[in-house]
Amino acid sequence: MGGEFFRSIRSVFTIHNLRFQGVWDIKTIKRFTELSDYYFTPDKLECDRNGNLLKGGLVYADAITTVSKTYAREIQYPFFGEGLEGLLQARDHDLRGIVNGIDYEEWNPKRDPFLPAHYDSASFRMGKPEVKRALQEELGLEVDPGCMLIGMVSRLTDQKGLDLLVRVFDEICQDKIQFVVLGTGEDGYENFFRHYAWKYPKKVSAQIYYSEEKSHKIYAGCDALLMPSLFEPCGLSQLIALRYGTVPIVRETGGLKDTVEPYNEYEGKGTGFSFANYNAHEMMASIRYAEQVYYDHREAWEEMIARGMEQDYSWKSSALQYQELYDWLVER
C-alpha cells in the first residue's frame, strides 16, 4: 500500500517554541530524510539557502496549533515570528492556540508528598503558612511568616526576562521582601543570583540546580511567583502557582497573558499582577503593587488566592479543545 495508505491521513503540527526550528544544510536533510529536490524550494522546506524542518511542518500540516491563543497571534509578527511570520500569516485560518495543562494529581497541594502541610482553596490560610515557615528555615532565610516571599522556578536565560531583574534587583531588595530562585542556565545569571544571596543572606536564596522536591516546596511556600518573560509560548510555572495559591506576577505575553487575569481592586477580580511593556521599572511597579496589596489589603490578597486556586488548567480542559480540532479536521 506504501504512501497511498497515508495520503488521506490528516496531520496536526504543534509549535511549542518557534525559536527552535531544526535548521540544517540541505544536503544533510536530504541524506537523513531521503526527500527529493522537489521539497527544497522557498515555498516548501528551503529557508535562507538551508533546509528548515519546522517550516516543512508548517507548510504540509493540515492544522497548526500552538500553546496559547496570544502566542498564536504573536508569532504572526516579526518580533516573535523568528523569520516565519509570513508563512504563519498565510496559514492563519488553520492556526489555533490551545493552552497547555498540568497534571492535577502530580500538582496537588492537598496531597503533595513533598510538603510538610497540606491545604486546598478552603484551608490555605492554615496550611500555606506552615509550608512557608518550613521553606524559610530550609533555605536559611529569616523565619518571618509575615514577610512577603517571592519565588522563581526557571531556566536562567534571556527569554525569562532576567535582564529586567538585573537592572532593579538591588532596589527591590530594599523592600520588605524575601526572594528565592531555583534553576540553572547562563553563567552570568547564575552568578548574579549567587552574588545577591551572598549580599543579602537572610533575604535572598539562590538554589542553582534543579530539584523536583524543592520546586514543589517553592510553589507552595511562596506568596508570589515572578515571571517577567520576554516571550513565553505557554508557561507552566504560573499554572502551578495558581494551583498552589501562589500569586503570579507576570509580563503580558503568550500564555502568561491568557492564564493570569490582572488584579482589579475596584471590581474585586483577578488572579495575579501583570505588566505590559518589557521594562524593568514597569516590572518593579507591578511587584510593588503586589507588595501593597499583600501588606495593606490582606483580605483582597486571600480572595485572589482563592480565585486562582479555583481555576481549571488541568489537561481535561485542553483535551476537549484538541478533540474539537480533530473533529473539525475529519469533517473537512
Total structural domains in the chain? 2
C-alpha angle with apex 237: 233 to 238, nearest 5 degrees?
85
Residues 79 and 142 in one domain: no
CB 78 within 8 A of CB 85: yes
> How far apart (Å, rounded) are the C-alpha atoms in residues 96 and 241?
25
Mean pLDDT, range 137-161, rounded to an integer:
97
The C-alpha cell that represents 159 in the structure block:
527569554
- Residues 49-100: tens digit of each pLDDT: 899 999 999 999 999 999 999 999 999 999 999 999 999 999 999 999 999 9
Please report whether residue 289 resides in a domain: yes
Can you give the pLDDT at residue 7?
Answer: 77
Residues 45 and 129 in one domain: no
Residues 81 and 158 in one domain: no
The CATH number covering residue 198 comes to 3.40.50.2000
Per DSSP, 127 falls in state: H
Residues 8 and 147 in one domain: no
Residues 273 and 168 in one domain: yes
Residues 207 and 268 in one domain: yes
Please report whether residue 11 resides in a domain: yes
Residues 152 and 212 in one domain: yes
pLDDT at 153 over 90: yes
Can you give the pLDDT at residue 6?
Answer: 77
φ, ψ at 152 (rounded to 5°): -140, 130
Please report whether residue 162 resides in a domain: yes
Please report whether residue 112 resides in a domain: no
Structural domain span for residue 224: 124-312
Residues 83 and 176 in one domain: no
The C-alpha cell that represents 83 in the structure block:
523569520
pLDDT at 212 over 70: yes
Please report whether residue 62 resides in a domain: yes
Please report whether residue 59 resides in a domain: yes
Please report whether residue 318 resides in a domain: no
pLDDT above 70: percentage of residues in the chain:
99
Residues 10 and 129 in one domain: no
Q: Which residues pair with 12 in a beta bridge?
A: 63
pLDDT category, 332, cuts 50, 70, 90? confident
Q: CB-based burial of residue 316 (10 Å sphere; 0-12 exposed, 13-18 middle, 19+ buried)?
A: exposed
Distances (CA, A) of 292 to 47, 137, 148, 175, 283: 50, 25, 10, 11, 14
Among 16, 4, 27, CA closest to 57:
16
CB 275 within 8 A of CB 286: yes
The C-alpha cell that represents 287 in the structure block:
511587584
> How far apart (Å, rounded) are the C-alpha atoms in residues 89 and 106?
37
The least confident of 16-25, 256-265, 274-283 is 16-25
> How far apart (Å, rounded) are the C-alpha atoms in residues 204 and 31?
51
Per DSSP, 261 falls in state: P
Residues 211 and 279 in one domain: yes
Residues 273 and 220 in one domain: yes
Please report whether residue 108 resides in a domain: no
pTM of the predicted protein model: 0.93
Residues 74 and 25 in one domain: yes
